[in-house]
Amino acid sequence: MFYRECGNFKDNYASDMAIFPIPLDRYGFIVMLILALIVIPLTATDYWISSIMIPFYCFALSAFGLNILAGYAGQISIGHAAFMAVGAYASLILYGRYGIPLLPSILGGGIVSAAVGTFFGLPALRIKGFYLAISTLASQFIIQWVIVHWRWVSGGVFGTVEAPDMQIFGWALDTPVRKYYLVLCIMILLITFGKNLVRGQLGRNWMAIRDIDYAAEIIGVNLYRDKLIAFAVSTFYAGIAGSLITFCYYGAANIEEFHVMVSFALIGMIIIGGLGTILGSFLGAGFFVLLPIAINQSLGAFMDVVPSDILSNIEAIIFGGLIVLFLIVEPYGMARLWHTIKDKMRLWPFPY
Amino acid sequence: MTFFFEVLINGLLMGIMYSLVALGFALIYKASDVFNMAQGAMSLLAGLALVGFLEMSFPLWLALLCTVGIMIILAYSTVFFVLKPLVNRPPLMLFMATFGIMYLLEGIGQSIWGTDAKGLNIGIPEISFEIRGILMNTFDLTFAGVAALLVASLVWFFQKTRTGRALRAVSDDHEAALSVGIPLLKAWAVTWVIAGIVATVAGVAWGSRLGVQFSLGYIAFKALPVLIIGGIDSIPGAIIAGLIVGAGETLAEVFIGPYVGGGIQTFFPYLIALLVLYFKPYGLFGKEIIERV
């Protein structure tokens, strides 16, 4: 009844190019923003903010970065956790060792990560499909090795760099709520930028490459340039996400936090969430971050003391089962479910 | 020079072990276009099951038989519960599904047989001896023999038997195979069974070398570069690339490693893979996909 395109006449370019052309979407988005900006920081406990919402936002950002590469440009990368690590170490070194202010440091982490990512994207010029996917795994192992063995970066064998106290213009970011705002603001900024990027010329080029690459080349898309830009943008996002999660959640850059399984989990997020959608990045990140915690909590309700090995096994079983189930029930991801609901709403209550 | 050959031969023997894992990937990819991330977990499950049966004081042959039985059940249930509903989906979805299966197998295997690292001893003696000054041991040689036997019988199976011919037809063209009356799902199930048996051999080989433990699932990461060097869908490719990778990484570790701080085994295979892919984008023996506009 309320979810209608009809009656919304577009009489200027601004409304034609609106991200949410349907009013109900716009209101829903504003409600979400209010929820994230005001309600959660005011009501949620420190535990919720610092160990659930912050990692959720960071992984959503990273998943969105991977989604640009895999969902829009069609190039799979199984090395994204390593690029998060690059961003994390780079920004920590810039901030902690050279005393560059916090925000430029985080940006610097993203830029270093983008530079490394573009380099590792070079094989994409020649190979594709699973061959490319596995050669991006190379970046994961090479970066891990370099970080551990290059003492200037990791400061020792264990590869751990402590995050110093954070300050912006002399204002200390010490409580979870302040860190939450830092993460949230950067995330909103970058997602808005990304959304506009994929709506524009570049995004359309990427989608053309994803759909049929040789056809894209024939209609004049510069395949090599755009693939490399996709790698650069995507790893830029990964780097920013990595530095944010290290500054605000882990507290220290440790290579173990950016293990190859994290890379696989990121791939999982965008596939379960929905390839080539922004909503999907969030839903997928939510699935992968919140579900293990939810399983953990609900099992704790049944048993007083759950042995940790049984817990992790049950977690793995439920998790794996749900991935398979989701793929069977909704192969195009949770974002597709939302689309189905929207299509139903459009016709409701008169389906014919 | 003797030292060089000793390292080389050890590397080649190591490479055979990689080939075993890569072989499982190649078989499944060839038949069903599924990139099976769960291959490492299948080896882990086989290793865990075998240890479990041996601990129940089964004789070795019976334990092996039961393990293979489990792999057969696994293969059929994967094909009919997971792959069947996902027929005709994009390869990436199937890849993700096997990722889910990987979690499932790790969880199920470890909740049945426990999470502790276990030793696996199947009674192959590990006696070191020298041939012309090159140190070798019977254990590695035995497994090299077993692997050679396995590959020979696979080749025989695919070339000479009726089922093997059907499987090759399926891997060439799904629709054409269907139209001449080959049951696709059955063919896939048989392929998964074979891959399961290969995974069992790999699990036993790696398990008795490193102990049966969680990290056994990670040998898949060693097999992936092997796979793309050889070409994802090529069985001889998997064997030859395994030897290349085994020899390459062992030589690199011994002769280059000390200069850069060691541990380069983790990524050296990937470097070789990148190098090979630069010249041959579909691997050494992979089927080249020719696109026409």
CB B195 within 8 Å of CB B99: no
CA distance A9 to chain B (A): 38
Give contacts of B282 with chain A, Cβ < 8 Å.
131
Give contacts of A309 with chain B, Cβ < 8 Å.
110, 114-115
- Amino acid letter, residue B180: V
Give contacts of A138 with chain B, Cβ < 8 Å.
225, 267, 270-271, 273-274
pLDDT at A282: 92
Q: Which of A323, A325, A332 to mutate to test the interface with B (most CBs of B within 10 A)?
A: A323
Average pLDDT over residues B174-187: 87
Average pLDDT over residues A236-249: 93
The answer, yes or no, to whether residue A312 has pLDDT greater than 90, is no
- Give all domains of chain B, ordered by start, each with its CATH number: 2-279 (1.10.3470)
Average pLDDT over residues A237-253: 90
Computed on alpha carbons and rounded to an integer, the radius of gyration of chain B in Å comes to 19
Average pLDDT over residues A326-347: 83
| Interchain CB contacts (distance < 8 Å): A and B | 137
- Amino acid letter, residue A345: M
Q: How far from A70 is each of A76, A84, A85, A137, A211, CA to CA, in Å?
A: 5, 16, 19, 14, 12
CA distance A274 to chain B (A): 11
The answer to whether A214 faces chain B, any CB pair under 8 Å, is yes
Average pLDDT over residues A103-118: 94
Q: B191-194 contacts: CB < 8 A, separation 24 or more?
A: B191/B27, B191/B28, B191/B30, B191/B31, B191/B32, B191/B167, B192/B28, B192/B74, B192/B75, B192/B76, B192/B78, B192/B79, B193/B71, B193/B72, B193/B75, B193/B76, B194/B27, B194/B154, B194/B157
Q: Do B273 and A135 touch (CB under 8 A)?
A: yes
- Give all domains of chain A, ordered by start, each with its CATH number: 1-10+18-43 (no CATH), 44-347 (1.10.3470)
The answer, yes or no, to whether residue B292 has pLDDT greater than 70, is no
Q: According to the per-residue pLDDT averaged within each range, which of A79-83, B168-172, B252-256 is highest? A: A79-83
Encoding tokens for residue A333?
A: 């991801």
Calpha distance A104→A135 (Å, rounded): 31
Encoding tokens for residue A275?
A: 């390839």
* More confidently predicted of B174 and A115: A115
> How large is the ipTM?
0.84
Q: DSSP class of residue B264? A: G
pLDDT at A51: 84
| pLDDT digits 0-9 by tens, A136-173 | 888 898 998 888 888 787 766 566 777 777 777 777 78
- Compute, in degrees rounded to 10, the torsion defined by CA atoms A141, A147, A149, A154: -160
Dump strand ranges (E) for B82-182: 128-131, 134-137
Q: Which of B25, B35, B39, B99 to mutate to test the interface with A (most CBs of A within 10 A)?
A: B99
Average pLDDT over residues B78-89: 86
pLDDT at B289: 75
Report the residue from B110, B228, B267 with minimal CB separation from A141. Answer: B267
The answer, yes or no, to whether residue B201 has pLDDT greater than 60, is yes
Question: Cα-flanking dihedrals φ and ψ of residue A293, to 5°?
Answer: -65, -45
pTM for this one?
0.88
Calpha distance B258→B267 (Å, rounded): 15
| pLDDT digits 0-9 by tens, B257-284 | 777 777 777 888 888 888 888 888 888 8
Query: Is the bond leading into A349 cis (omega within 30 degrees of zero)?
Result: yes
Q: How far from A103 is each of A60, A82, A183, A185, A241, CA to CA, in Å?
A: 20, 21, 11, 12, 13
The answer to whether A75 faces chain B, any CB pair under 8 Å, is no
The answer, yes or no, to whether residue A205 has pLDDT greater than 80, is yes
Calpha distance A33→A7 (Å, rounded): 26
Report the residue from A309, A321, A327 with minimal CB separation from B96. Answer: A327
Give contacts of A315 with chain B, Cβ < 8 Å.
107
**For A332, which residue in chain B has the nearest alpha carbon?**
B93
The answer, yes or no, to whether residue A303 has pLDDT greater than 70, is no
Q: Do A271 and B96 touch (CB under 8 A)?
A: yes
Q: How far from A41 is each of A46, A154, A179, A289, B176, CA to CA, in Å?
A: 9, 34, 10, 19, 60
CA distance B42 to chain A (A): 14
**For A135, which residue in chain B has the nearest alpha carbon?**
B274
Residue B288 neighbours by CB under 8 Å, 6+ apart? B282
* More confidently predicted of B106 and A301: B106
Residue B69 neighbours by CB under 8 Å, 6+ apart? none
The percentage of chain B sitting over the pLDDT mark of 70, rounded to a whole number, equals 97
